[in-house]
Chain A
């Protein structure tokens, strides 16, 4: 791989052993990908603070420096970790103290994570603690090279914002933060950003639920490819695109889609294909829509619901407001828990606007930093949960061994109040 002078200097240790280890990993990674060079980045979103059994062991052996060396730099050397070279943020991680006592998630893990936050914020890592950094001020500009992980944020950054990133991981972002470099490969190259497939909705896609279901279909059908999505579509807002993006990266591995006329790199369908002729469309009709609904609802048999999970990806302020409005004067059924996951920055605003008070009066919780899937923890005794998120409905049954229902926000909140699932496909 071709290295610039500054990259060679970093590799050779001029900026210290940790930066050299980071550059060594980026070179191994770039060469394995077949990249010809690295590219500068000034926006890194990764993960270093979330506790895991393997990480806890490394911290016991050599503190957070050892955990970062092994997990985020793939190095067994003893390294001092300097301040991040470029702006770097922590994505979602484990539960924080606002969830202490609500789940089987251990206080020990919460404390370990707090310790990690101190260590890494001292090294310049912004603890955004969300899967949606784009909701709390991390908004790369169009064509900016970034190094993000979190599949739902990656597809959002590429598609909606027009930034350029591959789906990075804990080690590549760990190395990028210390060097300001990432392999120039895949979606960093404009030649690899044109659409490959057309998916056409012949049924109306307009509501939050519609967008999540449609995204799940798109991901299932195109897998890692780059779809241009057309048809009978309403104008999506941020929350719709957040849901759609996450769903395409759940059933498949979509990292970039185009919505002609809406997303920045596709003013028209033809432009999405670089002027070439679009291929025949994959059609999303009534049968396909029903297939998605039944697939997401094939993981529930009991209609006795004991847990409602909202905010996957992390809820916007508008979503929290909608939940609060619908819960005014209502009360959760005894034995039913309701959690709304959101970034802490938005939780502050939700509290300020009184939404949190309304949700708590009804018996629910507004929680930050994590989600039941990331922390592998739901309220104790949960057997059947309901959610408005296609992503969470897909993942949580496998992770926690519980049943799932997928529906609209109204259906989820009705279940919260009655303890019964009575959703259905409209």
Chain B
């Protein structure tokens, strides 16, 4: 690819990180949705069932389910299984509080739409201070 693609949104948790993206169109549940000890999605009907998000830039539409969402992701921080960054579209109390207590760089409401642009395996930079997500390199898994 040529120039890196920039997505501009609102940074809600500061800090900057570069990591591999993990993208899902399914909203994520905390309680009953993730296992904090392994950093894995455990909801049977989820398209990422069984997939580990530790150290990844988690790109997802938003949070769903129990109000335990923030507490579950906070536990991933305390247990060393947290994602590297969050990028999501739908601003809810669950997801926003979750991002704050997980203490990872977070950008919301970015444009162009992250779910249209970013693919699993891409290397991306999330800058929570500037509110910018940059796709630095396409993943090898991506075949056009």
Interface positions of A (Cβ within 8 A of B): 25, 28-29, 31-34, 47, 52-54, 57-58, 70-71, 74, 149-151, 154, 166-172, 185-186, 223-224, 249-250, 252-253, 299, 373, 394-395, 397-399
Q: In the bound complex, do residue B44 and residue A172 qualify as a contact, i.e. CB atoms below 8 Å apart?
A: no
Q: In the bound complex, do residue A250 and residue B42 qualify as a contact, i.e. CB atoms below 8 Å apart?
A: no
B77 CB to closest chain A CB (Å) equals 9
| B105 at interface by CB-CB < 8 Å | no
Instruction: Choose from A28, A74, A169, A395 the contact partner of B94 (Cβ within 8 Å).
Output: A169
Cβ–Cβ < 8 Å partners of B13 in chain A: 32
A151 CB to closest chain B CB (Å) equals 5
Q: In the bound complex, do residue A29 and residue B63 qualify as a contact, i.e. CB atoms below 8 Å apart?
A: no
Closest to B102 in A: A74
Given A170-B70, A398-B32: A252 in contact with B93 (beta carbons within 8 A): no
Q: In the bound complex, do residue B97 and residue A253 qualify as a contact, i.e. CB atoms below 8 Å apart?
A: no
Q: In the bound complex, do residue A168 and residue B97 qualify as a contact, i.e. CB atoms below 8 Å apart?
A: yes
B132 CB to closest chain A CB (Å) equals 16
Cβ–Cβ < 8 Å partners of B10 in chain A: 34
Distance, CA A347 to CA B128, complexed state (A):
49
Instruction: Choose from A32, A52, A223 the contact partner of B99 (Cβ within 8 Å).
Output: A32
Q: In the bound complex, do residue A151 and residue B79 qualify as a contact, i.e. CB atoms below 8 Å apart?
A: no
Cβ–Cβ < 8 Å partners of A166 in chain B: 92-93
Cβ–Cβ < 8 Å partners of B75 in chain A: 52, 54
| B126 at interface by CB-CB < 8 Å | no
Distance, CA A167 to CA B98, complexed state (A):
12
Q: In the bound complex, do residue B44 and residue A398 qualify as a contact, i.e. CB atoms below 8 Å apart?
A: yes
Q: In the bound complex, do residue B96 and residue A29 qualify as a contact, i.e. CB atoms below 8 Å apart?
A: yes
Q: In the bound complex, do residue B32 and residue A167 qualify as a contact, i.e. CB atoms below 8 Å apart?
A: no
Q: In the bound complex, do residue B97 and residue A224 qualify as a contact, i.e. CB atoms below 8 Å apart?
A: no
Q: In the bound complex, do residue A249 and residue B100 qualify as a contact, i.e. CB atoms below 8 Å apart?
A: no
Q: In the bound complex, do residue B64 and residue A167 qualify as a contact, i.e. CB atoms below 8 Å apart?
A: no
B90 CB to closest chain A CB (Å) equals 7
Could you name 16 residue pairs across A and B whose Cβ atoms are closer than 8 Å?
A29-B97, A32-B100, A33-B96, A58-B78, A74-B74, A74-B103, A149-B67, A149-B68, A169-B68, A169-B69, A169-B71, A170-B68, A170-B70, A224-B64, A253-B65, A399-B32
Interface string of B13-47 (1 = CB under 8 A from A): 10000000000000100011100110000111000
Cβ–Cβ < 8 Å partners of B103 in chain A: 74
Closest to B32 in A: A395
Instruction: Choose from B32, B70, B97, B100 the contact partner of A394 (Cβ within 8 Å).
Output: B32
A172 CB to closest chain B CB (Å) equals 5
Q: In the bound complex, do residue B70 and residue A171 qualify as a contact, i.e. CB atoms below 8 Å apart?
A: yes
Cβ–Cβ < 8 Å partners of B36 in chain A: 54
Cβ–Cβ < 8 Å partners of A71 in chain B: 71, 74
Distance, CA A252 to CA B75, complexed state (A):
23
Closest to B62 in A: A224
B46 CB to closest chain A CB (Å) equals 9
Interface string of B111-142 (1 = CB under 8 A from A): 00000000000000000000000000000000
Closest to B71 in A: A170
Cβ–Cβ < 8 Å partners of A33 in chain B: 91, 93, 96
Q: In the bound complex, do residue B44 and residue A299 qualify as a contact, i.e. CB atoms below 8 Å apart?
A: yes
Distance, CA A272 to CA B42, complexed state (A):
37
Cβ–Cβ < 8 Å partners of A399 in chain B: 32, 42
B94 CB to closest chain A CB (Å) equals 6
Interface string of B51-62 (1 = CB under 8 A from A): 000000000001
Residue among A33, A54, A252, A253 facing the most chain B CB atoms (10 A cut-off):
A253
Given A74-B100, A253-B64: A169 in contact with B93 (beta carbons within 8 A): yes
B7 CB to closest chain A CB (Å) equals 18
B21 CB to closest chain A CB (Å) equals 22
A392 CB to closest chain B CB (Å) equals 10
Distance, CA A29 to CA B37, complexed state (A):
26
Q: In the bound complex, do residue B79 and residue A32 qualify as a contact, i.e. CB atoms below 8 Å apart?
A: no
Q: In the bound complex, do residue A167 and residue B67 qualify as a contact, i.e. CB atoms below 8 Å apart?
A: yes
Q: In the bound complex, do residue B99 and residue A224 qualify as a contact, i.e. CB atoms below 8 Å apart?
A: no
Given A74-B101, A224-B90: A32 in contact with B67 (beta carbons within 8 A): no
B85 CB to closest chain A CB (Å) equals 14
Instruction: Choose from B27, B43, B97 the contact partner of A171 (Cβ within 8 Å).
Output: B97
Closest to B94 in A: A167
Distance, CA A57 to CA B69, complexed state (A):
20
B81 CB to closest chain A CB (Å) equals 11
Closest to B10 in A: A34
Cβ–Cβ < 8 Å partners of B64 in chain A: 223-224, 252-253
Q: In the bound complex, do residue A167 and residue B100 qualify as a contact, i.e. CB atoms below 8 Å apart?
A: no
Closest to A47 in B: B71
